[in-house]
Structures are given as C-alpha cells and as structure tokens.
Structure 1
Amino acid sequence: MSKNAAEKREALFDKLKTKGVSPERLRYLRTVANDGASPEIIKRLRTDMKKEMSVQDIADLFGISRQGVYHHIKGDASQLDQGDRGNLKELRPFTVPAHQQQCSLYNYITAHMKYALNPDPSSFTPVRWRELTHWWGTLDANEIIVHDPEQPGNDLAQCGGWRLEDREKGDGDLIVRPHGEPTAQQRKVFSRKVIEQGLKQGNE
C-alpha cells in the first residue's frame, strides 16, 4: 500500500472513531482491510455500516477507487471462479453469525476459498498471501475445523464458534466439516489438495 493510501486509511479510522464506532468494530475493519476487498465484505459493509461509511470511505479502507467499490457491489463472487463458476456464499459450508465472522479464522477460510477458485498467488497482496500460506502450514492433517455457534472462544478463534476435532473417516480430506452433506464442489474447494498446491506455489 502506498504512503498516501495508508494515510487515507488512518484518517478514516480517526473519523470513524469520532463517529462513535466501537473499538471492536474498528479492529474488525482493520482485519478486513488487511485481508483485502471482496464482493462479500464490501456488500456487508454497505449493509451494516451504511450510516457510518460512504462509498469513498470503503474505497479508502481498502486502498481502491470508488469504481473498484462499485465493481465489487455489482459483480458476482463467481467472477473469481475460473471454471466451476462457484459463488462464495453458496460454497461456504456453514452459516456463521456476524460476530463470529470477525475472527481471523473466518477470513482465512474465505481466502482459502478464493484461492481454490482462482489458484493464482498474484491475485493476493504479498502480505495476505504470506498470511494464508502460514495459516495453511499450521493445519494438522489429522484434525478438521468444525463450526459450532455455541463454541466458546479458544486459541483457534477468540470470538468463539470454532474448534478442532480429530478427523473421521467420513471427512475424507476436507479441512472443514460442513453442517450438511458437502456438495461435489465443496469437496473440491475444501480439499487438502488445494493446500498442497498453494504451498508448492509458495515455495517456487
């Protein structure tokens, strides 16, 4: 990010603070800003923070243009897909309450999905790509991520909702356990083969 873009972002955080936006919400905004813009996140901000953030504010948050924001709002997440034409919302194998979407784990899973749909490291910022590959490296092949809205906060996700369990035979090579029977595309997107491919690219 350029110096000018970084200054605009910090000025935005100062403005939001004066508007009374909570420290927790500001931390969430910093997290999504570091993860980068996506149709899902921008549409959520346009819905949840329409009174606090203008289109220009969202552009400043992500260091993109107003046109870039409108592109995400009008575009469909399936544009990220090179072959399967999947939609991130449809692909996500569980429904996550808003407050549990603020955990870094939720963003890592989203980034994993985006890479699976478009396996090109250059589509990520260098920082975001390093964070994703580091997260991949922390995943134990013998464990699987489980979403449970009643799960208290833990080392995996301080905001709660997530835990690790031992892998069962029916899990196959999935990295997450869906709430229902996974679709063929979900099995493809959440396969550990995606991680193997990504880590291989990261070492090239």
Structure 2
Amino acid sequence: MGSNVDEKREALFEKLKSKGVSSERRKYLRRVAEEGASPEIIKRLRTDMKKEMSVQDIADLFGITRQGVYHHIKGDASQLDQGDRSDLKELRPFTVPTHQQQCSLYNYITAHMKFALNPDPSSFAAVRWRELRNWWATLDEDEVIVHDPAQPGNDLAQCGGWRLEARVPADGDLIVRPHQKPNAQQRKVFSRKVIDEALKRDPK
C-alpha cells in the first residue's frame, strides 16, 4: 500500500482518537481496513459511525475514492454526506418512487449528476467510470429520458417508470426531460455538453 494511503489512514485514526472514539473501535476499524471495502461494511459504518466518519473518512480508511464509496452503496441517498444529499436532491429532475430507484438507470443518472458536479474521472472507481462511459454511449442524441411512474418495465428499466421519447425543441440539449421546467443548474448538469467534453478529455 502506498505511503500516501498509509498517511491518510493514520491521520484519520488520530482524528477519531481526538473525537473520543474508543481504542477497541479503532482496532476494529484497522481490522476491516485490512480486509478491504465491501458494501456491507461501508453501509454498517455509515449507520453505526455516521457522526464520527464522513464519506471522505471512509474513503481514507480503505484507500479508495469518495466515488468508490458511493459505488459500494450504489447511490443510496440515505448513505451520503448531508452536503451531497442536498446537492443531488436539488438537482434531481424527477420525483421517483422508491421501487423505481432500484433500476440501474436511476444509478446511472445519479452518477452522471455526480460527475457533472465534479468532472474528474479520477474521482470515480475505475469500474464505475467505465460503466458510466458505457451508459453514455447508449444515449441517442435524438432522444431524451422521461420518467413516468405508470410506465411498465421495459428494456430501458425493468423495474418500470422510465422510457425514451423523441427530442423536441423545448428539450434543448438535455439528456432528460424534467418533471418541471429545468432551472439553470439542471440545464448545465444534464446538458449533452457534459458528456461530449468528458469523452473528449478521456477518449479511452
């Protein structure tokens, strides 16, 4: 493991000690850090130590990126830091029932939003970045993503709620059609320019 990862981890343990986290708890964290990140352990930490450890702290513990943490929790908004939840909640263009948030499409849209807010491929785990790029490649420039709670499951989203419709002038260059008139930030985040510029910088 690189020295930078070790330094961040040790700095984290010093911070936890200063917060009054017990030595037994810190020993437990050292043990799980050596075992490596997993969805189960990350979700457990986000539940049991939410006041003591932020998403960045968990990333430092395991030597991964913040996006690596988000990948493990699969976009579950309840697991995010408060600031991230607020940003995503304000930007999300649809009001989606819980059962329709289980589709991969919902997670792809969330990943797109996170990238638009922090357009740095290195902030994503490699597999997550590859998945996002592959999803972008499926988007037709002449279509937009529409959310309709009554939409039955289809090839786009087996859990239902999503379909593609032909682009109309009012859509501009958005990749989605929001439930309400999009604000300036949503127009920026969901513009195809985000995708085109990302692929231009990282054409692999």
What TM-score comes out, normalization by structure 1 length? 0.64
Equivalent residue number for residue 132 of structure 1 = 132
Amino acid at match of 2:171: D
Amino acid at match of 1:76: G
Query: Is 1:77 aligned to 2:77, yes or no?
Result: no
Structure 2 unaligned regions, length at least 5: 1-32, 43-67
Equivalent residue number for residue 4 of structure 1 = 35
Amino acid at match of 1:121: P
- Aligned pair count? 148
Equivalent residue number for residue 94 of structure 1 = 94
Change (3 A) 1:77 1:11: closer
Write the distance in 2 (CA, Å) between the matches of 1:10 and 1:36.
8
Change (3 A) 1:3 1:201: farther
Percent identical: 64
Amino acid at match of 2:71: D
Write the distance in 2 (CA, Å) between the matches of 1:202 and 1:3.
32
The 5 Å alignment of 1:55-204 reads 72-73=80-81, 75-77=82-84, 87-203=87-203
Let me know the Cα RMSD of the aligned residues.
2.9
Structure 1 unaligned regions, length at least 5: 13-31, 46-71, 79-85
Write the distance in 2 (CA, Å) between the matches of 1:189 and 1:10.
31
Q: Deviations over 1:97-127 (max 9, x none)?
A: 0000000000000000000000000110000
Write the distance in 2 (CA, Å) between the matches of 1:160 and 1:3.
40
- Give the ranges of 4+ consecutive aligned residues of structure 1 lying more than 3 Å apart after TM superposition: 8-12
What TM-score comes out, normalization by structure 2 length? 0.64
Higher-Rg structure is 2
